[in-house]
Amino acid sequence: MRRGSVAAAIALLLVAIALASVVVRRCAQRRTSHFASSVVGSDRWADDSALARLQEIPLYRTLIHAKAMRAGTVDGDGTLHVEVDLRAVIEPRLAALGIADTSGLFPVSARGTISIQSSVGLTATVGLRESWIFDGPATVFDLFDRNPAGRIETLALDAIPGAPSALVRMRLMPSRLADPSFGGAAFAPWRDRASFAEKLLGRPLRAEIAEDLAGPAVFALYETEADTEAEAVLAVELRRSDRLAGLLDMLFGLGALTERATVRRYRGVATGSFVSGSGGPGLALAVDGPVLFVATSRARLESAIDARRTGPQRGGIAAAEGDSAASWNAVSASAFVAHGWARLTRSADEAKLRGVKTSAALWPEGVSRWRLEVHGPAPAITADPILPFLRSLFGRRQRDGD
């Protein structure tokens, strides 16, 4: 064979090998493209085992589908590393609630490490340890103080009465309430109503409230006989209470004139309870010393005032222990919350979530990053009682108004 023919044959062989490698690589990428790109810091592509491992967890099997996973790998010990498109997860749920335009309040994506610890005995149990990182701006986190300071035990926590089945502690950044662009387009109707009220009263309400709130706040949820209903108390610490108390007095007076409010004094404190125009759940408010109370009933409100006067009475679920640097803590062992999250995620796993205790805490990292740490037998979201409570509250008002 001529020397030129040999060279041409070798060149053709090298080209064929290169083309074959490209085809093989493209096919491999095509098989995993529905899980998106590689995990940060890893050269492995997400594969079916990552999604299968994730779907072993109640709620996640219906909440996070293949198209929502940008990346996912499984370590040799079964630890999951995932990157999730949060908008793809939440937008269908928000649309079903009629609030699809609020998806911009949430982070675009989240990176998580999930350790699943299973034990098999008389009763099979599953324990989870989750760590999620949220990068970039997200309005849902903007109200939280990135530099919280002070002791974990606050006046607001000491004023929580009775035996709640779920508890949330927050350290807020009140100054955000006065930001004219707070919440973007999603909060525009709320800002318009606030602006109208300020013009009507001739007072900068948002600025005054932002100045008066100290930051620490506690939300407590209480079970009722029905898993589909619950009661709640919100306690917020105040820097100064006179202006807010005067504003409530004005609100109580207007409510009494329209026969929508019942105003009375309890232990020397002016209290007002309001009836919903649709006949649904009402609202009760009061300022007692340095604490603002908002409750779903007058009975809950008065019990909170009693608790503040007599000192902390621990009962029900214990306050989640955590680092004082946490901007948000939540703990839940509530059947109502389990039912609510099962409804929100359209999951059939409600029975596996009932009565289990899940705790979560949110810490700031750097300039704009947040880290969520979770421990318990249920996913991170099930520690939060506020969203299921609000869904139930507005759902009842809509039903009662029909």
Handedness of CA 53, 335, 170, 183 (dihedral sign): positive
In a domain, 22, yes or no: no
31-41 burial, b at 16+ Cβ within 10 Å, e below that, comes to ebeebbebbee
In a domain, 249, yes or no: yes
113 shares its domain with 165: no
Higher pLDDT, 395 or 2: 395
The full DSSP string for 221-236 is EEE-SSTT-EEEEEEE
Give me the residue label for tokens 């790109």.
37
User: Which structural domain range is residue 328 located in?
Assistant: 139-339
Write out pLDDT tens, residues 71-119: 888 888 889 899 988 888 888 877 776 777 777 778 888 999 998 876 5
279 shares its domain with 171: yes
Higher pLDDT, 296 or 40: 296
129 shares its domain with 167: no
50 shares its domain with 176: no
231 shares its domain with 325: yes
Residue 222 bridge partners (DSSP): 231
Choose one of 291, 323, 339: the last residue of a domain. 339
Note the pLDDT of residue 54: 83
Mean pLDDT to the nearest integer, 146-163? 77
Choose one of 309, 339, 369: the last residue of a domain. 339
Q: How many domains in the chain?
A: 2
- The answer to whether 271 and 302 have CB atoms below 8 angstroms apart is yes
Note the pLDDT of residue 25: 41
Mean pLDDT of all residues belonging to the chain: 77
